[in-house]
Structure 1
Amino acid sequence: MKTAKPLLTGLLLLISLSIFAQTAVLRGVILGENNLPIENVNITASTGEGATTNKNGFYKIRIPSETEVTLTFSHVSHKRVEQKFNLKNGSELEYNPVLKVSVVQIAEVVITPETKIENSDVTTIPAQVLRRIKGAQPGVENILKTLPGVNISNELSTQYSVRGGNFDENLVYVNEIEVYRPFLIRSGNQEGLSFVNTDMVANVDFSAGGFQARYGDKLSSVLDITYKKPSKFGVSADLSLLGGSVAVETASTDGKFSSISGIRYRDNSLVLNSLETNGNVEPVFADAQTYLTYRFSDKFHLNFLGNISLNQYNFQPENRQTNFGTVDEPVALLVFYEGQEQTEYQTYFGAFKANYFLNDKTTLKLIGSAYHATEQEYFDILAQYRLGEVNTNIGDENLGEVEFSEGIGSQFTRARNDLDALIFNLEHRGDYNMDDDSNLEWSVKYTREDIRDRLVESEVIDSAGFSIRPPGLTGPNFQPDVPFNGPLTAFQNIRAFNEVQINRLQAFVQYKKTTQIGEHEAYYNIGVRAHNWSVNGSGIEGNNQTVISPRAQFAIKPNWDKDMLFRIAGGLYYQPPFYRELRDSSGVVQPNVKAQKSFHVVLGNEYSFKLWDRPFKLVTEAYYKGLSDVNPYTLENVRIRYRANNSAKAYAYGLDLRLNGEFVPGTESWFSFGYLKTEENINNRGYISRPTDQRLKFGVLFQDYVPNMPDLKMYLNLVYNTGLPGGSPSYADPYDFQFRLRDYRRADLGISYEIVNPEKTYTSNWKKPFRSLSLGIEIYNMFNNQNAITNTWVRDVNSQRQFAIPNFLTPRVFNVRLSARL
């Protein structure tokens, strides 16, 4: 296979138009412990701004936007409070701290944000929650899985599905720059680090559907990440048995330059060695990221985002025993392996973003990025299996071992897969902020995708001395009673070499306005996207297609005694095919694949209230998706194989509920519930469940601390998902097999002690350099539930039965973590 041209991270200088002035507004009321307002509280910002509360305790301060600013609230008779903020251009946030006389503040202070009506369709995840609650999944996905509508049933993977969509239907942005995932990964074991470095995050916004035209062309969700722009020097570090990370923040004294850089290393041996398959495993994942900002003047800012990721997964399996069946008739699968698997992928990503502030109303932006990925997947695995009865005699020295074999067979799998992807983007964005609380935003973007791919895979299955032929072959086959004299044929054999170029031209324009309808506050957003793409390549006839995607959102906040908000969002959403969606199950590229289309409507309600004198919010959303030109696919672990045609139609509908608030003073927790039903009709054969039809979902993120020892904290991360319809053989006709996997149940517990609390002052010399220092333990899968990601199908020659043997995920695992910040 040819190697793609080297990655060009050369300068892509840019200019861009943007929304508001370079400031944001913070307002609120400051109360004492007796719930009375405090006058003459001094509010000072680390960037020099200041304000004072009036006799009613109210204050208002304007601070720089897109910058991390530390605000200090001080009063002669009350304990000082410090809090960090990083607000978007033109945004407003209500922050109401409570100043206490002598009691130590719990956590980082209670924040009571009042969601602006135009952002009501977005879920915001506090950055401190991401950093405090790590979990088995190394990234923001560990928190996403507790949200309604988001389904993750594999703790080894950072892939997630949203409201019936698959892993390829989610957009991810970092500071308005689109980022990409690897292509070849087929198993969660092979995955390393999420692109998003939580040590560098300032803000996380997530939309599960009905999102605005300003976001790209995908069918399911948007994850919008904002990285920090530090205002002073800082260092943070995290070390655990699964790896470690270090992040460094810098800022010049004149405020013109700031940077944040992070290095991460992860070794999943602790979790992978707990799986049923024994062997030598070497999973090494590492990356380095940086985000730089230089303010040449008040009008021109230049930003750079860079990432290098190196990932290797080497595995030499030795044996596996899986016990299943019933208590009365236990059965075991015993497998002996020969061979090894080597998976490696490297990604290099660089992006420049230039902001030109034409005036207080207009900002122009130019974003240029380059992404280069080289991936290889090599393996030769011979698996010889025995299927038999298990010794159940208590006290016998052979208890639990296979005594009588009902079936003996072998399977040989081989792959030599290589992929080289080079993607360039150049985008102009602009914002114009009008005087009447309205805003106009637009963009034009060009993308060039150059993919070079070699796909070579084969599988041979032998059971009791005869070769199992592919199910699609015609002709009689009476094995083993009558010998088969035809040529031996591999059960699966795929060979394809593809060189594909895809050119895309995208544009959008959207208008939004906040207004009054009588005494009620209202907001609407109307936008439209256009996407043109062409597919070309070696041996491929060029094809050119265009789609138009109108979208709209409307929200109203009635002037009622109860704090209620109602909203509706929807539109026509398209997903033009990426390379993986163009490649069919035989590896051949089908350039005429159309964009999948979805009519999407979301009805939402937000009810904010107080309970126990603390803030709570209940968010309810009902949604419906009507999909056409659907590209059917099979899903095995995290690998997606498309049919590369538009032979199906589908639908999805459901209900999502989320209650969040201060169940414990000073901490934020939430409870989620989701109901989903999604089905598809392939070639008019009737509706069946889609691979992501996960009917019920419950998620809990709960934080607590010991009242008499507030530095001792805990978190509990609970997820329950009903089983996916992924329990059938990968080669099976989905209309013949609709078996579901077992329900997914998982509980992760973390307990930590803050040796150095940022809210306290210490006299000990060794503690003074630290802003925070904590030590903790984590218990993953606390109740040791046996969750499964797929089934292995083994044939019993004597009875001609096929057994579904679950491929279990990780059992209970203990981890130790040390976190520090200077």
Structure 2
Amino acid sequence: MTRQIPVQQDRLLRPRPLPFLLPGAPTDHGTHSEQAKNTIQAPGKYLTQASGSLSVLLMSVALNTTVAHANTAPSDLERITVTGSQYTLATRHNTHFLSKERIESMPHIADDIFRLMPALPGVAAGDYSANFFVRGGHSDEVLVLLDGQQLYRPFHMKSFNSAFSIVDTDNVGAMDFSSGGFTARYGNKMSGVMAIQSLYDMPQYKHSLGVSFINARAGSQGTFDDDKGSWLVSVRRGYLDLVLDAVEDESNKFEPIYADLFAKVSYELTDTQSLSGHFLYAWDDEILDDTFSEWDGVREYQVKEKVSGEYSSTYAWAVLRSDWHEDLSSQTLLSVARVEEDRSGGQYDPTEVWLTLDDNKFFYAYSLKQDWQWRVSDSHYLESGFEAKYLDAEYDYWLEAWYQVNYDGEDYRQQKTQLTASGNVFGAYISDRWRLNPDWVTELGLRWDQQDYYGFTKAQWSPRVALLFQPADEQRVSLSAGDYYQPEDILSLQVADGSTEFHGVEKARHVILSYQHALSPAFQWRAEAYLKKLSQLRPWYENAFDLYEFLPEGQADRYRVAPDSARVKGVELSFQHHITSKWQWHASYSWSNAQDSINGRWYPRSWDQRHAVKLTSRYQFDNGWQISGLVYFHSGWPMTGESGRLVKNTPNGTYEIQRRLNERNQLKLGNYKRIDMRIHKIYPLSNSELTVFFEVSNLLNFDNECCIDRTSYSVDGEGKLLKKEERGHWLPIIPSFGVKWAF
């Protein structure tokens, strides 16, 4: 039932330092010589094929320019940040935006680095999900990479809005995040790149055990064969099911069981070649069986809701790094991925809907990817690469629903789809970086991508261009632009809403102007303005009352959104200050406007937040305790909602209430406010250390509106229709704790 409302992984074994929030800020110069060799360049997607016969090496143009300091050595050209909108997290270097140490001491639910992303400018998210929106784009517009491997479904608890990620933050050695203007190395996503690199530079032996409010983990790492080889393994198990089992009653059963395993082995084959093997497995078994009472103003009635899901994701990949010459290197990645998703559920609400559904998906991906880096001269650096994938997806979906409330006259809906889609995806790129003079560096890139599966055959050329000028050592001005295409993923066919054909390829054109200034070694700021124009958009489906329904496709308020085009524009201001070695803060303000054009009118997107303020701060006391805080504020998200009117339906004058969905996103939820706090301390022990933390999310227990829970109507004594709208809320105050022992 659908209705239209008018409305980097670079060199994977020995990584380079990733760019600082403000490249003009001080860096750890003492490590530059080693880091110049040990580079990790985040991979894109790259190979080509000419229609069934030979592969054609294609390219992509990213005219991205960046400036090095006037005193930067020419050999540093390969490490220059190409555009603005780049953030580096989780490294061990305190000069970076959020160091590993600072992330470990900051409040974020379940110690999940995905949950920390909303602290960055331009990123929006709801409390219930670890998924997020980047600069007005959909949540599926972010490319997630782990050690060069794309993660197709990087979340646990997918039946419940993807509450946590499958990436263990303790395994993260560095993360490079781009919110726009990324280079030709990356393709098939329109909004952002999240390139995660696992831990490197392993100690000889290190083991750890940890437990928190959400999960328990164990990890081990070390080296072998005179440090030529290293290994890392970790396992996590969520135990929310055990906690909830102790407190739930007979009418409510909620069992979110999940676990994941990550392992990596690296070995230096020769002085010029290294090989690494990686394995990631994530598993979920989720059950919600809930019965509760509702009151419609006249009577009390029972509502039943049941959701269950079994999910698994398996990734196995190997990476070969080769230094063919001191100026020429390559990385080759070979991988296989498997994703299985089984979801079923039902809902009985005598005033709204009775539905049942069964949703099964299987997905396989086999990939070959290679990247090359060539330092042609001190002023010329060239990158190129390709990727080839074979994909296979199976869908088996069934839904049946009867509606007591409908908004388009449809009382019954049945949807059944079974299909298999398989085919190839190819990509290739070339990126050419030039130092024009000590103050200018330019990068030209061109990217080509092709998709061919299930009758869906498309190809795209993606030119990208950027320019950065450094008028002084402490200032940088950059301008970048480019085209970014995103095909409908073979695993994302909207069968739940009746789609049986892939729509096409969406297009986004980015233009970004960035100014960065280091007023002192300890204080930097950045201003950035951006414009995204989107076209060739595929239709999607939303719920008018709640974006985070557990069974969204079966609800009566489900409707189709089919924009002709869209635009996102915004301004972001960021400030970072290291007051002392013990006290640092970072603040940002964002103004943005994300709108879809539908039938000649502009409508805000459902995650559009016009104003957003984010503040983080950390202070370390002399006794070793650290206290960190995060303050969030943003404008309330738009919401559609419904309206009713009295309609005379019999000759004797009886009336009924006719309900209809409002015009798209003309309502507004209340402004969002939240304060999180964490205290954290590391206790040195004999040959080990103990870390403890206590955390409170939503410290002041703000009632932040998330959705419309229920709309009811009554008629007063004068025959006037009265409407009552009950709004739901995001998460209340949540205390948490954690203990980790490293030995």
**TM-score normalised by structure 1 residue count:** 0.73
Distance 1:596 1:64, change over 3 A: closer
Aligned counterparts of 2:133 and 2:250: Cα–Cα separation in 1: 27
Letter in 2 for 1:617: Q
Q: Is the 8 A contact 1:513 1:523 kept in 2?
A: yes
Query: Of 303, 310, 324, which residue of structure 1 is paired with 2:283?
Result: 310
How much does 1:694 deviate? 1.6
Counterpart of 2:655?
none
Distance 1:241 1:646, change over 3 A: closer
Distance 1:417 1:19, change over 3 A: closer
Q: Which has the higher contact order (CA 8 A, sep 6+)?
A: 2
How much does 1:277 deviate? 13
For the pair 1:370 / 2:336, whether they are aligned, the reply is yes
Name stretches of at least 5 consecutive residues in structure 2 with no aligned partner: 1-8, 19-27, 41-67, 70-78, 90-98, 644-658
Aligned counterparts of 1:780 and 1:277: Cα–Cα separation in 2: 29
How much does 1:231 deviate? 4.0
Counterpart of 2:256?
283
Aligned counterparts of 1:702 and 1:418: Cα–Cα separation in 2: 44
Q: Is the 8 A contact 1:19 1:361 kept in 2?
A: no
Larger Rg: 1
Q: Is the 8 A contact 1:281 1:316 kept in 2?
A: yes
Aligned counterparts of 2:370 and 2:32: Cα–Cα separation in 1: 34
Query: Of 687, 692, 697, which residue of structure 1 is paired with 2:612?
Result: 697
Aligned counterparts of 2:708 and 2:12: Cα–Cα separation in 1: 54
For the pair 1:210 / 2:120, whether they are aligned, the reply is no
For the pair 1:507 / 2:441, whether they are aligned, the reply is no
Query: Of 699, 708, 720, which residue of structure 2 is paired with 1:791?
Result: 708
Name stretches of at least 5 consecutive residues in structure 1 with no aligned partner: 1-16, 27-42, 44-56, 69-91, 94-114, 324-330, 385-408, 463-467, 474-488, 537-541, 757-766
Secondary structure of the 1:358 match is strand
Letter in 2 for 1:660: Q
Secondary structure of the 1:429 match is strand
For the pair 1:779 / 2:707, whether they are aligned, the reply is no
For the pair 1:526 / 2:433, whether they are aligned, the reply is no
Counterpart of 1:535?
453
How much does 1:410 deviate? 5.0
Q: What do residues 158-197 of structure 1 show as CA deviations (whole Å, max 9, x unaligned)?
A: 100011101110011122222211699766x353531322
Q: Is the 8 A contact 1:552 1:571 kept in 2?
A: yes
How much does 1:663 deviate? 3.6
Letter in 1 for 2:390: R
Counterpart of 1:157?
129
Aligned counterparts of 1:276 and 1:370: Cα–Cα separation in 2: 43
How much does 1:439 deviate? 1.4
Letter in 1 for 2:303: Y
How much does 1:282 deviate? 1.0
For the pair 1:168 / 2:140, whether they are aligned, the reply is yes
For the pair 1:298 / 2:271, whether they are aligned, the reply is yes
Secondary structure of the 1:168 match is helix
Q: Is the 8 A contact 2:582 2:620 kept in 1?
A: no
Counterpart of 1:379?
345
Q: Is the 8 A contact 1:271 1:813 kept in 2?
A: no
Secondary structure of the 1:209 match is coil
Q: What do residues 245-270 of structure 1 show as CA deviations (whole Å, max 9, x unaligned)?
A: 22211112522111111111223466
Secondary structure of the 2:497 match is coil
Distance 1:616 1:497, change over 3 A: same
Query: Of 435, 452, 469, which residue of structure 2 is paired with 1:556?
Result: 469
Number of matched pairs: 653
How much does 1:515 deviate? 4.1
For the pair 1:749 / 2:677, whether they are aligned, the reply is yes
Letter in 1 for 2:538: N
Secondary structure of the 1:434 match is strand
Counterpart of 1:259?
231
What value does the CA root-mean-square deviation take over the aligned residues?
A: 3.7
Counterpart of 2:477?
566
Aligned counterparts of 1:663 and 1:333: Cα–Cα separation in 2: 61
Q: Is the 8 A contact 1:20 1:360 kept in 2?
A: no
Distance 1:460 1:793, change over 3 A: farther
How much does 1:820 deviate? 2.5
Counterpart of 1:451?
393
Secondary structure of the 1:674 match is strand
How much does 1:425 deviate? 1.4
Aligned counterparts of 1:694 and 1:276: Cα–Cα separation in 2: 38
For the pair 1:609 / 2:519, whether they are aligned, the reply is yes
Q: Is the 8 A contact 2:131 2:162 kept in 1?
A: no
How much does 1:596 deviate? 0.9
How much does 1:579 deviate? 3.1
For the pair 1:676 / 2:648, whether they are aligned, the reply is no
Distance 1:317 1:800, change over 3 A: farther
**Any residues of structure 2 matched to 1:644-723 within 5 Å, and which?**
648-682=564-598, 684-706=599-621, 708-709=622-623, 711-723=624-636
Distance 1:559 1:721, change over 3 A: closer
Aligned counterparts of 2:195 and 2:538: Cα–Cα separation in 1: 26
Counterpart of 2:310?
344
Counterpart of 2:93?
none
Secondary structure of the 2:472 match is coil
Distance 1:668 1:737, change over 3 A: closer
Counterpart of 2:46?
none
Counterpart of 1:122?
86
Aligned counterparts of 1:802 and 1:795: Cα–Cα separation in 2: 6
Distance 1:804 1:625, change over 3 A: same
How much does 1:769 deviate? 1.7
Secondary structure of the 1:145 match is helix
Q: Is the 8 A contact 1:23 1:64 kept in 2?
A: no
Counterpart of 1:415?
357
Aligned counterparts of 2:693 and 2:278: Cα–Cα separation in 1: 32
Aligned counterparts of 2:721 and 2:496: Cα–Cα separation in 1: 28
Aligned counterparts of 1:796 and 1:143: Cα–Cα separation in 2: 41
Query: Of 555, 577, 598, which residue of structure 1 is paired with 2:508?
Result: 598
Letter in 1 for 2:181: G
Q: Is the 8 A contact 2:705 2:729 kept in 1?
A: yes
**Any residues of structure 2 matched to 1:26-65 within 5 Å, and which?**
62=34
Aligned counterparts of 1:277 and 1:410: Cα–Cα separation in 2: 24
Q: What do residues 106-158 of structure 1 show as CA deviations (whole Å, max 9, x unaligned)?
A: xxxxxxxxx9554754211222233333521542122211111011122x311
How much does 1:365 deviate? 2.1
Letter in 2 for 1:210: G
Q: Is the 8 A contact 1:184 1:375 kept in 2?
A: no
Q: What do residues 327-375 of structure 1 show as CA deviations (whole Å, max 9, x unaligned)?
A: xxxx899763335321221111111111121111111222112211111
Q: Is the 8 A contact 2:287 2:306 kept in 1?
A: yes
Query: Of 356, 376, 380, which residue of structure 2 is paired with 1:434?
Result: 376
Aligned counterparts of 2:560 and 2:640: Cα–Cα separation in 1: 23
Q: What do residues 582-641 of structure 1 show as CA deviations (whole Å, max 9, x unaligned)?
A: 4366322223x221111110000111123xxx6121111100011111123234535798
Q: Is the 8 A contact 1:278 1:320 kept in 2?
A: no
Percent identity between the two aligned chains: 18
Counterpart of 1:226?
197
Q: What do residues 769-815 of structure 1 show as CA deviations (whole Å, max 9, x unaligned)?
A: 21x32222111111111224332344436576664432323211211
Distance 1:66 1:174, change over 3 A: farther
Secondary structure of the 2:536 match is strand
How much does 1:235 deviate? 1.8
Aligned counterparts of 1:249 and 1:21: Cα–Cα separation in 2: 15
Letter in 1 for 2:208: S
Aligned counterparts of 1:735 and 1:25: Cα–Cα separation in 2: 49
Distance 1:59 1:251, change over 3 A: closer
Letter in 1 for 2:168: N
Q: What do residues 680-736 of structure 1 show as CA deviations (whole Å, max 9, x unaligned)?
A: 112x34111122322111112211123x42x11111122222122235369976745
For the pair 1:805 / 2:726, whether they are aligned, the reply is yes
Aligned counterparts of 2:300 and 2:121: Cα–Cα separation in 1: 39
Aligned counterparts of 1:141 and 1:231: Cα–Cα separation in 2: 26
Task: Name whichever of 58-67 and 241-250 sits farther off.
Answer: 58-67
Q: Is the 8 A contact 2:155 2:162 kept in 1?
A: no
Aligned counterparts of 1:643 and 1:585: Cα–Cα separation in 2: 12
Letter in 1 for 2:139: F
Aligned counterparts of 1:775 and 1:18: Cα–Cα separation in 2: 34
Counterpart of 1:622?
529
Q: Is the 8 A contact 2:294 2:302 kept in 1?
A: no
Aligned counterparts of 1:335 and 1:698: Cα–Cα separation in 2: 42
Counterpart of 1:201?
172
How much does 1:670 deviate? 1.0
Aligned counterparts of 2:312 and 2:14: Cα–Cα separation in 1: 37
